[in-house]
């Protein structure tokens, strides 16, 4: 991340300000910016701002901030620049002056000047014509540094606004990450502050987490604890927090950090699955699905946490929300969890729900696809055979005869598992009804007839020697 020098900002090339030493400025020690290249006098014929030609009357002056050559009219003011280790006032051009003054004011121990700096930068980055200058002259670093040193709610509100605005520019993400912006956001989220500040900060973090490169950084920067803390707040903030957590969990390397911690991520998410807010339920279940795609141990932890906290998942499956995506996400989650051999007893109530849902949700294709997949996964284990054989006719009539190919194939999977774990019971049930559907289904699966012929041929060869 430290190697980025120039970014494209809405079609304009913007050179990033660099600091001496580590680019991460989320520290209490003030940063020092690297000085710009000093343009030689003989390289400048006209003032770079007003384009008036230099002569004996119109003399050349250098801006100490950008290093460019200008006339006295365009470079008349002087500003101290401690960020460049220039404590005495030095010449600054009209183009650099507004942002330079804001960066300089951030070094003051007085709240008045810190607030003026934060407010000015927050307003400047909202202006497409000014944000480039903010980036070039150390505005990013100033926002991160002020977040670290200021305890004022007013200042932090402006800094959260600035971070949120800048997060909307994808090309700035890596530069912000390099300066320590993710840690700055986590710092804001960890403090008790006004609602709007939290909304701005969690919104910025959520946008960052849409970038695969920054999800792990968010976790390593300590985002999990404050994000989980926000999940129990009022609706807007809580929903943004759960959506952010879901994005963080899309990166599988973050799963262990979320599950193996003392911050109670699983209890928090499972509790939200029974929230009164259906959108919250939907997103919480989606986040749990991310974790269920991990290891067997991760799935085991989800199952045991659900079981010990009052069997949350069967409650969701048995509910009747207006938002069908809640049921779909819950069915997807349980189907994923059903592959764990050691947790089948803990999932018995979920299996009961799935057997009922074959009939109650037969018209919902997405739900039915997950339910049929879950039943096929449950069928892998002998402990579920007796129950599934009782529902074999439903599996045949709903899944095997479905117009949806994916549902048909999952129905066949379930039946073949039952044939291997309990052949007599399954064959007896199929002889009453369904044998023809099974054979018809088998014949439609690409490659299966050839595989069966090859397996049979090994035991019944086409050519042999005489005995």
For 379-390, what is the mean pLDDT? 93
Give the whole-angstrom CA distance, residue 67 versus residue 295: 56
Give the whole-angstrom CA distance, residue 372 versus residue 335: 8
Say whether pLDDT at 258 is over 90: no
pLDDT band at 262 (very low <50, low <70, confident <90, very high): low
**pLDDT score at 106:** 96
For 99-124, what is the mean pLDDT? 96
**pLDDT score at 435:** 82
For 136-146, what is the mean pLDDT? 96
Nearest CA-CA partner of 224 in 240, 208, 197, 244: 244
The b-or-e profile of 307-329 (16+ CB within 10 A means b, else e) is: beeebbbbebbbeeeeeebbbbb
Say whether pLDDT at 369 is over 60: yes
The b-or-e profile of 28-45 (16+ CB within 10 A means b, else e) is: eeebbbebbeebeeeebe
Nearest CA-CA partner of 307 in 319, 315, 318: 315
**pLDDT score at 261:** 67
List of residues 6+ apart from 352 with CB closer than 8 A: 314, 387
Tokens of 268: 């928090």
DSSP secondary structure letter of residue 340: -
**pLDDT score at 2:** 47
Say whether pLDDT at 233 is over 80: yes
**pLDDT score at 460:** 84
pLDDT band at 208 (very low <50, low <70, confident <90, very high): very high
Q: Please report the sign of the dihedral spanned by the C-alpha atoms of residue 249, residue 250, residue 255, residue 257.
A: negative
Contact 137, 95 (CB under 8 A): no
For 369-379, what is the mean pLDDT? 97
Give the whole-angstrom CA distance, residue 5 versus residue 203: 26
**pLDDT score at 1:** 43
Per-residue model confidence as pLDDT tens digits over 423-435: 988 888 888 887 8
Of 161-165, 318-322, 332-336, 446-450, the range with the lowest mean pLDDT is 446-450
Quick one: what percent of the chain has pLDDT higher than 70?
99
């Amino acid at each position: 991340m430290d190697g980025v020098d120039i970014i494209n900002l809405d079609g304009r090339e913007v050179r990033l300000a660099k600091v001496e030493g580590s680019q991460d400025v989320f520290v209490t020690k003030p940063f020092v910016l690297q000085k710009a290249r000093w343009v030689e006098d003989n390289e400048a014929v006209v003032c770079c701002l007003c384009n008036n030609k230099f002569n004996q009357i119109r003399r050349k002056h250098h801006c100490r901030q950008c290093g460019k050559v200008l006339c006295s009219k365009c470079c008349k003011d002087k500003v101290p620049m401690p960020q460049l280790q220039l404590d005495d006032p030095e010449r600054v051009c009209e183009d650099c002056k507004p942002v330079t003054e804001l960066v300089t004011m951030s070094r003051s121990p007085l709240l008045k000047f810190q607030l003026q700096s934060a407010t000015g930068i927050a307003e400047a980055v909202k202006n497409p014509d000014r944000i480039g200058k903010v980036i070039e002259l150390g505005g990013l670093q100033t926002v991160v540094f002020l977040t670290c040193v200021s305890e004022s709610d007013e200042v932090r509100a402006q800094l959260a606004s600035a971070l949120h605005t800048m997060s909307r520019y994808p090309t700035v993400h890596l530069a912000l990450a390099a300066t320590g912006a993710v840690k700055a956001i986590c710092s804001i989220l960890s403090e008790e502050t006004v609602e709007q500040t939290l909304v701005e900060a969690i919104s910025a973090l959520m946008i960052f987490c849409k970038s695969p490169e920054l999800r792990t950084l968010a976790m390593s920067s300590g985002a999990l604890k404050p994000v989980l803390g926000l999940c129990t707040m009022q609706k807007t903030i809580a929903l943004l927090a759960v959506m952010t957590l879901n994005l963080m969990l899309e990166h599988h390397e973050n799963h262990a950090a979320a599950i193996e911690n003392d911050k109670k991520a699983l209890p928090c998410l499972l509790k939200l699955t029974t929230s009164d807010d259906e959108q919250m339920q939907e997103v919480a279940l989606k986040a749990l699905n991310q974790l269920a795609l991990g290891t067997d141990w991760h799935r085991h932890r989800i199952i045991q946490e659900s079981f010990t906290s009052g069997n949350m998942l069967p409650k969701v499956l048995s509910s009747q929300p207006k938002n069908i995506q809640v049921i779909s996400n819950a069915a997807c989650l349980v189907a994923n969890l059903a592959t764990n051999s050691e947790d089948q007893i803990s999932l018995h109530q979920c299996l009961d729900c799935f057997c009922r849902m074959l009939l109650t949700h037969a018209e919902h294709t997405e739900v039915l696809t997950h339910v049929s997949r879950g039943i096929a996964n449950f069928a892998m284990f002998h402990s579920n055979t007796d129950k599934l054989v009782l529902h074999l006719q439903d599996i045949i009539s709903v899944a095997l005869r479905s117009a949806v190919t994916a549902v048909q194939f999952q129905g066949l999977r379930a039946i073949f598992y039952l044939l291997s774990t309990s052949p007599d019971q399954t064959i007896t049930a199929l002889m009453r009804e369904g044998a023809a559907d099974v054979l018809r289904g088998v014949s439609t699966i690409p490659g299966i007839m050839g595989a069966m012929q090859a397996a049979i041929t090994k035991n019944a060869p086409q050519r042999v020697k005489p005995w």
